[in-house]
Amino acid sequence: MANTPQAKKRIRRNATRQTINHARVSRIRTFIKAVEAAIASGKQADAADALKKVQPEIARGVARGVIHKNTAARKFSRLSKRVASLG
């Protein structure tokens, strides 16, 4: 249990940051699912549009520190490859 004022503040801050970070990761996942749904439909134009929308979201996740840059690069690379294979 936290005894010092600093530790109590840290607990409050951690809870707030966890909520914000969870929302950011969830938003990125939603955009990725949109790309995957477009890929599943087989329409390359829709998939390419969804891919253009997900790229800045993934980059923003890296900038905010909720996703590692290599993870972001891997996700974007794999999605790009799948979209390209539709054509």
Please state the domain extents for the chain: 5-86
Cβ–Cβ < 8 Å for 58, 66 = no
pLDDT of residue 60: 97
| Low-confidence residues in the chain, pLDDT < 50 | none
pLDDT of residue 1: 75
pLDDT of residue 5: 94
5-86 CATH? 1.20.58.110
pLDDT of residue 2: 79
How far apart (Å, rounded) are the C-alpha atoms in residues 27 and 51? 14
Output the pTM of the full model: 0.88
Q: Is 2 helix (H, G, I), strand (E, B) or coil?
A: coil
Q: Kindly state the DSSP code that residue 42 receives in the 8-state scheme.
A: T
